[in-house]
Structure 1
Amino acid sequence: MVIERDTRAVTEAETGAPVGFFDAPFGTHTPGALQKALIGFARRTFFHRGKLRYHMTNLITALGHPLDVTRMGCAFRVEGANNLIEYGLLLHPGYNKPEIDFLCADLGPAKVAVDIGSNVGLYAQPLARTGARVVAVDANPSMIKRLAFNADASALDTLDIVHAAVGEGSGMASLEIHRDDVAIVNIVEDQAGTVPIRTLADILASLDVTRVDALKIDIEGHEDAALAPFLADASEDMIPDRIVIERVGPEDYPGCHREFTRLGFEPVGRTKSNSMYLRKP
């Protein structure tokens, strides 16, 4: 199942970063006193939700940006411009924390986690903080560059970062943006595009990954094309014990759900946007 969305083409500027974004070391752009007060206020109130979140973020970043913040022991340089994930990192102390805690539960050294649709590292960095090896994949080169900066600032050396769209075959793609939010990019097969399409099996094989323990996937409606074929052919060691998958409305992606059922996964929790699956022993 591929979700149809109202989209537009991603601009060249949206695949890069503002001039000077990476020049100064992390910590240079610590929020000022007024910004800290506004962030603290938003975190304690409903100003971290809905349209108010957008206006509050604009107010805070109007006082100076980018901003260097830490969350779950990890570094994030936040620009805040049209990126829902960065809004959450800045304003919402519990943003996606149940899903992250679920994936981290059994991780540690010698374990492997995969984050498909990694963005700036909301999941990938805390997963790597456990000592596990983490493969982080994103189609937007801007997010790849920002994640690399964040991971370096966090001193995470077990994080493999891959620029690719994940699908059921190989090819090239262009990017489209949904709701003017650079955290929500859609891939469109296009042989003249600049983004490689790769299968998950190919990505993991190229990195000599021979086991997967936890997996998160959020790639704007392409979950069935990316994950279901991988699970259908995966060896036992490559089938994760824990999966977090984005859902649209009350239902999960049908192809993935069929594979989860076949492999003995049980739904153990749902949040506003995601489903959590645990594989039965």
Structure 2
Amino acid sequence: MTTLALPIGKEQSPRPAQGASFGTWAPTPVQKLILILAHHTPLGRGRGRRLAAALLRRLRDGPIDYTLGGSPFRFDIRDNSTDRQSLLHPGYNREEFEFLAEVMGKGGVFVDIGANVGFFSVKLAAQCGAGCRVIAIEPNPVVLERLRFNTEAMRDRITVVDQAAGRAEGVARFQSQAGNLGQSRFDADGEIEVQVRPLQTILQSLGVMRIDALKIDVEGFEDDVILPFFATAPKTLWPTRIVIEFTSRSEWKGDCIACLQDCGYVLSSKTRGNMLFELGDAATHRLAGSGPSR
């Protein structure tokens, strides 16, 4: 996605301390009007979204505190495309979210790998209520500060893991993309050093015994997480449903899709950026009319 340039002659506001209470950056009346229009007209999509984002920034160049779907978020549309899309387009990733939420009943467990600022983690934790458990894995220290802010109100349900999931335990270099934090990724020349642990090791350290839903979006390194996990994890730990981002599939060293299919997962749907898989036994029960099963 093209990064929006700041309007000529306007200085960029300093990044706020995330500790500032929610509401500090409440939208101005005109910003609220733009958001309403974006949510109900094409202004929230495609070129319209870029225009809406530029207008919001011209009015006040800073983050925006906004309650979306009943959950409070601090969005920063200046440097994160996920924030722009989530704030301006209510239908953003709706199919993926509903697919995962269907199996998150009372006491459900959701693992969010590449949690970014917590869009999926917070929404699922809010919808599923007390008793559910969300593991939000995010190694980028800049994004982590925002993730912790957004998850603070649900810290009893959401565990933030400030590490990266990968093939083996160790450290790796990480490059934070200043123009779009959602595209930050592993890079041998990256300026940040992050701790890496296999997904199964992370889950074991947290006492996770089962997973109902899992989302993974790690910018082309999905194979470093998925392949070793399914090679060693017991089937009792395999997620019922998985949403996997596939737009960087050409960078995989191993085929995650083939791995999932070999493990018995069935492709339920495919969106612009993600593939939605359901474990075969659960898919069979659902199609037979008995609902999702563990």
Q: TM-score, normalised by structure 2?
A: 0.82
Select between 112-121 and 71-80 the one with higher mean Cα deviation: 71-80
Point out where structure 2 has 5 or more consecutive residues left out of the alignment.
1-12, 282-294
Alpha-carbon distance between aligned partners in 2 of 1:165 and 1:206, rounded to the nearest angstrom? 14
1:99 is aligned to 96
Quick check: 1:58 aligned with 2:54? Answer: yes
Secondary structure in 1 matching 2:277:
strand
Point out where structure 1 has 5 or more consecutive residues left out of the alignment.
1-16
Secondary structure in 1 matching 2:52:
helix
Deviations 1:149-201 (Å, cap 9, x if unpaired)? 1111x434110101122210122222225693111111125798421111111
Alpha-carbon distance between aligned partners in 1 of 2:186 and 2:27, rounded to the nearest angstrom? 34
1:182 is aligned to 181
Q: Which has the higher contact order (CA 8 A, sep 6+)?
A: 1
Shift of the alpha carbon at 1:61?
A: 2.7
Secondary structure in 2 matching 1:168:
coil
Equivalent AA in structure 2 for residue 68 of structure 1: D
Is this contact kept in 1: 2:174–2:191, CA < 8 A?
A: no
Structure with larger Rg: 2
The alignment of Structure 1 onto Structure 2 pairs a total of residues equal to 264
Shift in CA distance, 205/261, structure 1 to aligned 2, threshold 3 Å? same
Superposition map of 1:36-115 within 5 A? 36-64=32-60, 65-115=62-112
1:135 is aligned to 135
Shift of the alpha carbon at 1:138?
A: 1.1
More strand by share: 1
Shift in CA distance, 18/110, structure 1 to aligned 2, threshold 3 Å? farther
Alpha-carbon distance between aligned partners in 2 of 1:200 and 1:150, rounded to the nearest angstrom? 23
Alpha-carbon distance between aligned partners in 2 of 1:171 and 1:249, rounded to the nearest angstrom? 24
Quote the sequence identity (%). 35
Is this contact kept in 1: 2:176–2:190, CA < 8 A?
A: no
Shift of the alpha carbon at 1:94?
A: 0.6
Select between 123-132 and 248-257 the one with higher mean Cα deviation: 248-257
Shift of the alpha carbon at 1:51?
A: 4.6
Alpha-carbon distance between aligned partners in 2 of 1:258 and 1:43, rounded to the nearest angstrom? 37
Shift in CA distance, 178/141, structure 1 to aligned 2, threshold 3 Å? closer
Alpha-carbon distance between aligned partners in 2 of 1:39 and 1:180, rounded to the nearest angstrom? 22
> Aligned-residue CA RMSD in angstroms?
2.4
Shift of the alpha carbon at 1:134?
A: 0.7
Secondary structure in 2 matching 1:145:
helix
Alpha-carbon distance between aligned partners in 1 of 2:125 and 2:169, rounded to the nearest angstrom? 28
1:8 is aligned to none
- Counterpart selection for 2:23 from 7, 13, 27: 27
Shift of the alpha carbon at 1:261?
A: 1.4
Equivalent AA in structure 1 for residue 141 of structure 2: P
1:204 is aligned to 203
1:166 is aligned to 165
Alpha-carbon distance between aligned partners in 2 of 1:249 and 1:56, rounded to the nearest angstrom? 28
Equivalent AA in structure 1 for residue 146 of structure 2: R
Shift of the alpha carbon at 1:108?
A: 2.8
Shift of the alpha carbon at 1:21?
A: 2.8
Alpha-carbon distance between aligned partners in 2 of 1:25 and 1:191, rounded to the nearest angstrom? 32
